[in-house]
Amino acid sequence: MRGFIYAAHPVRVLFGAGTLADLRGEVERLGRQRALLVSGSSQPDVVARAAEGLGDLVAARFDGAAMHTPVEVTERALAAAGDVDCVVSIGGGSATGLGKAVAVRRGIPLVAVATTYAGSEVTPTLGETSDGVKTTRTEPGILPATVIYDVDLTLGMPVGLSVVSGVNAMAHAVEALYSADANPAVDAMAVQSITLLASGLRRIVAAPDDADARADALAGAWLAGTCLGAVGMGLHHKLCHTLGGSFGLPHAETHTVVLPHAMAYNAAAAPEAMARVATALAASRPGDGGADGPAFAGRSARGQDAAAMMYDFVVEVGGPTSLAELGLKRDDIPAAAKLATAKPYPNPREVTEDGIAGLLADALAGTRPA
């Protein structure tokens, strides 16, 4: 028996097609009248629709959200905010991060409209970058009050972004399954999340505007984000945090490359979790008979191949497989391994500098885990 502590986070979630139309009502429901609308600059049409829907509730706008939430960007957003009484963010994890950073500093609620699969919108965690160093904090006031998932906003997401963002989400679910805080509720969400994301992404690659596939991927992302918000993450997230914060590697792409290698590193120390991942991946292929089908015969039961299955999945959906293609240099490995092992944290297998250097060498080269 394993004991656990579980606290569900109080976030109101609207999920569906066309739910952006509910944005104004959600701000009013919170009793707010003056919203700061924050976003990145790459989706002006979607932001314009959000602003139109909010109408006279928009008191200020800021479209400078950037990856890893730089503090100087947050300060500019705060200066532009004036006397707002809530924040509305629209976009991926970068826009959500900026929304959280402004809302928590002002002590006002955030309504987050999520347009990628990053999952930040359902976590009470904020990662911020200052002078090239990324620090993360978790506190209840960071959690958005309301999250809007509008499947329609994801229909035009480029396939490449969909894949890396979706595998980023799968990483939350995978690490939740072997988390020191794991519990049956989170296990169930994680397994369902991996199946929905794998199935959804595969169908999105085949037909990017398949609304059902988009809905599955977005629902999987919500579940994955909920796992991320509920239990502590391990080696994979710490390593990606280091590679993004200190080596400037792109967030979701880095998660996509590292995930199979982090799984391979932990596999022998977390056999039950790996078996669950393998079963969840196998279940995403109903055409092959799911976990018992010919494509995965014998594999899901053991879970020893989960890392290779994840690698094969990334290849199948056209994701990146090597850190070299993302810009990491062989000479960076010793420093990255040192940074990623500087502070101890819970992980199924002991995290050593040599071990991480080996993992990074494999990820740099893009080799398939054996």
Which residues within the stretch 309-368 sit at the binding site for ligand NAD (CB under 6 A)? none
Which of 21, 33, 42, 207: binder of ligand NAD (CB under 6 A)? 42
> In which element (H, E) is residue 245 found?
helix 235-247
- Nearby residues of 140 by Cβ (< 8 Å), 6 or more positions away: 9, 124
Taking CB under 6 A as the binding criterion, the range among 50-58, 61-69, 312-320, 330-338 that sits at the site for ligand NAD is 61-69
CA dist 162 and 189 (Å) reads 20
Which of 126, 148, 163, 280: binder of ligand NAD (CB under 6 A)? 126
| Interaction of residue 92 with ligand NAD, rule CB under 6 A | yes
At residue 12, what are phi and psi to the nearest 5 degrees? -90, 125
DSSP codes, 137-194:
EE-GGGS-SEEEEEHHHHTTS-HHHHHHHHHHHHHHHHHHHT-TT--HHHHHHHHHHH
Which of 18, 44, 132, 156: binder of ligand NAD (CB under 6 A)? 156
Pair of tokens at residue 216: 């599955």
Nearest approach, Cβ of 66 to ligand NAD (angstroms)?
A: 8
Which residues within the stretch 4-33 sit at the binding site for ligand NAD (CB under 6 A)? none
* 127, 147 Cβ separation under 8 angstroms: no
| Interaction of residue 220 with ligand NAD, rule CB under 6 A | no
Question: Nearest to ligand NAD by Cβ — which residue?
Answer: 93
3-state secondary structure of 253: helix
Which of 99, 109, 119, 319: binder of ligand NAD (CB under 6 A)? 119
Which of 24, 32, 49, 68: binder of ligand NAD (CB under 6 A)? 68
| Interaction of residue 144 with ligand NAD, rule CB under 6 A | no
Residues 190-222 as b/e (b if ≥16 CB within 10 A, e otherwise) read bbbbbbbbbbbbbbbbeebebeebbbbbbbbbb
3-state secondary structure of 62: strand
| Residue with Cβ nearer ligand NAD (228 or 364) | 228
| Interaction of residue 67 with ligand NAD, rule CB under 6 A | yes
Which residues within the stretch 242-281 sit at the binding site for ligand NAD (CB under 6 A)? 251-252
| Interaction of residue 240 with ligand NAD, rule CB under 6 A | no
Number of residues that bind ligand NAD (CB under 6 A): 31
Taking CB under 6 A as the binding criterion, the range among 35-43, 190-198, 273-281, 289-297 that sits at the site for ligand NAD is 35-43
Which of 35, 38, 40, 112: binder of ligand NAD (CB under 6 A)? 40
Pair of tokens at residue 125: 């965690």
| Interaction of residue 159 with ligand NAD, rule CB under 6 A | no
Rg value, the chain, Cα: 20
Residue 60 amino acid letter: A
CA dist 228 and 120 (Å) reads 8
Taking CB under 6 A as the binding criterion, the range among 49-57, 123-131, 230-238, 266-274 that sits at the site for ligand NAD is 123-131
3-state secondary structure of 301: helix
Which of 54, 62, 84, 93: binder of ligand NAD (CB under 6 A)? 93
| Interaction of residue 70 with ligand NAD, rule CB under 6 A | no
* 112, 147 Cβ separation under 8 angstroms: yes
Interface contacts to ligand NAD, rule CB under 6 A? 40, 42-43, 67-69, 91-95, 97, 115-116, 118-120, 123, 125-127, 153-154, 156-157, 161, 165, 168, 228, 251-252
